[in-house]
């Protein structure tokens, strides 16, 4: 077996892409998207029909006639439309992200997540097949706690610290996505080192620590390693509940016929679970004390917002082009 096949025997493999063709090729269990991936996908020719349908739907349903407002609604519809297409190819779930501009607004995050689920259900997709992606801010975790009690399952993303992981577990979140590669990026930029191996990769060690804490204390929250920079990181975390992997790294694993590294231990000794330990003040203080997590969380939100806005500008341009074509045809 190649390494991808070996990995699938130890972890659920998730495709970190919105590209339907890549998902069809690598046959992952699940798939996850984000604004950056949706922006890239929206530029592919195979999505033109979905974009046109999303814009038409948004123009019909928007309570505002401003192009920017219609484009914002169309972006939400497009995310669901692409998610529904992906679910025709994967047996598991798809992750769809809440607008990152709402990362510090609990109520708005809850409302947005409910609208996403309503759109999925209107398309015939059961909520059990969707994970709502939310940034791992205090407000985002609080929103996820409410949503989970409603049967809306959440994927807490942009997770860089142990404090974020503890808060997510104590909130009863379905799944977390610790960002391995972005942790490594920060340490390379700030330590003067460029020779990290899988054995001392700080992103790998962070996920190992979280995984051990969860499994030893019986938390049900799923750990899904994300944002990998190389296959060595992936192999070091083989055995993690889930691993979401880009098409490029999936291809590298598929083309490698050697034995997969040992990865995470198959068994973790149990320890007593502590009482709830992390309130808002402690969470904010601990996160603030972690320069890497603070900087990467802020940067991640900014980047997702930037790509969300780029997607909306692209959709707005498409809409204005359609209007000009219609006007010329009717003149």
Q: Is the pLDDT of residue 331 over 80?
A: no
Total tally of structural domains belonging to the chain: 1
Give the range of the structural domain holding residue 53, as residue numbers without chain letter: 3-319
- Residue 326: inside a domain, yes or no? no
What pLDDT, on the 0 to 100 scale, is given for residue 167?
97
What pLDDT, on the 0 to 100 scale, is given for residue 330?
64
- Residue 214: inside a domain, yes or no? yes
- Residue 37: inside a domain, yes or no? yes
**Active-site pick, 133, 188, 215, 296:** 133
Of 227-236, 271-280, 293-302, the one with minimum mean pLDDT is: 271-280
Report the CATH number at residue 304: 3.20.20.70
Q: Could you tell me what percent of the chain has a pLDDT over 90?
A: 85
What pLDDT, on the 0 to 100 scale, is given for residue 302?
97
pTM reported for the whole predicted model: 0.93
> What does the alpha-carbon distance between residue 206 and residue 22 come to, in Å, rounded to a whole number?
29
> What digits encode the pLDDT tens for the residues 311-329?
999 999 988 766 666 555 6
Give the closest residue to 138 by CA, choosing from 305, 299, 296, 278.
Answer: 278
- Residue 64: inside a domain, yes or no? yes
- Residue 328: inside a domain, yes or no? no
- Residue 288: inside a domain, yes or no? yes
- Residue 325: inside a domain, yes or no? no
CA 220 to chain centre: 19
* Contact present, 198 and 232 (Cβ < 8 Å): yes
> What does the alpha-carbon distance between residue 27 and residue 89 come to, in Å, rounded to a whole number?
7
- Residue 8: inside a domain, yes or no? yes
pLDDT band at 73 (very low <50, low <70, confident <90, very high): very high
Reply yes or no on whether 8 is catalytic. Answer: no
CB atoms within 10 A of CB 215: 18
> What digits encode the pLDDT tens for the residues 165-184?
999 999 999 999 999 999 99
């Amino acid at each position: 077996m190649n390494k991808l096949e070996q990995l699938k025997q130890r972890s659920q493999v998730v495709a970190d892409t919105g590209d339907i063709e890549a998902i069809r090729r690598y046959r992952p269990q699940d798939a996850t998207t984000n604004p950056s991936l949706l922006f890239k996908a929206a530029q592919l020719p195979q999505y033109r029909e979905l974009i046109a349908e999303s814009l038409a739907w948004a123009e019909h349903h928007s309570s505002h006639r401003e192009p920017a407002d219609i484009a914002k609604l169309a972006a939400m519809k497009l995310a669901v439309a692409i998610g529904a297409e992906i679910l025709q190819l994967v047996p598991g779930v798809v992750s769809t992200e809440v607008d990152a501009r709402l990362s510090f607004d609990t109520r708005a995050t809850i409302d947005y997540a409910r609208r996403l689920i309503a759109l999925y259900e209107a398309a015939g997709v059961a909520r059990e097949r969707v994970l709502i992606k939310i940034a791992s801010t205090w407000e985002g975790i609080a929103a996820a706690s409410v949503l989970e009690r409603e049967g809306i399952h959440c994927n807490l993303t942009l997770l860089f610290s142990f404090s974020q992981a503890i808060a997510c577990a104590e909130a009863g979140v379905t799944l977390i996505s610790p960002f391995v590669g972005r942790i490594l990026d920060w340490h390379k930029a700030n330590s003067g080192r460029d020779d990290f191996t899988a054995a001392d990769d700080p992103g790998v060690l962070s996920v190992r620590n979280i995984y051990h804490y969860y499994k030893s204390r019986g938390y049900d929250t799923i750990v899904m390693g994300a944002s990998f920079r190389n296959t060595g990181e992936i192999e070091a975390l083989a055995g993690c509940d889930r691993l979401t992997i880009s098409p490029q790294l999936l291809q590298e694993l598929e083309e490698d016929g050697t034995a997969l590294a040992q990865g995470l231990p198959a068994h973790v000794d149990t320890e007593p679970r502590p009482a709830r330990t992390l309130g808002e003040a402690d969470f904010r203080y601990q996160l603030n004390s972690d320069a890497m997590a603070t900087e990467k969380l802020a940067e991640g939100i900014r980047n997702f917002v930037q790509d969300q806005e780029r997607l909306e500008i692209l959709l707005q341009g498409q809409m204005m082009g359609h209007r000009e074509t219609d006007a010329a045809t009717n003149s």
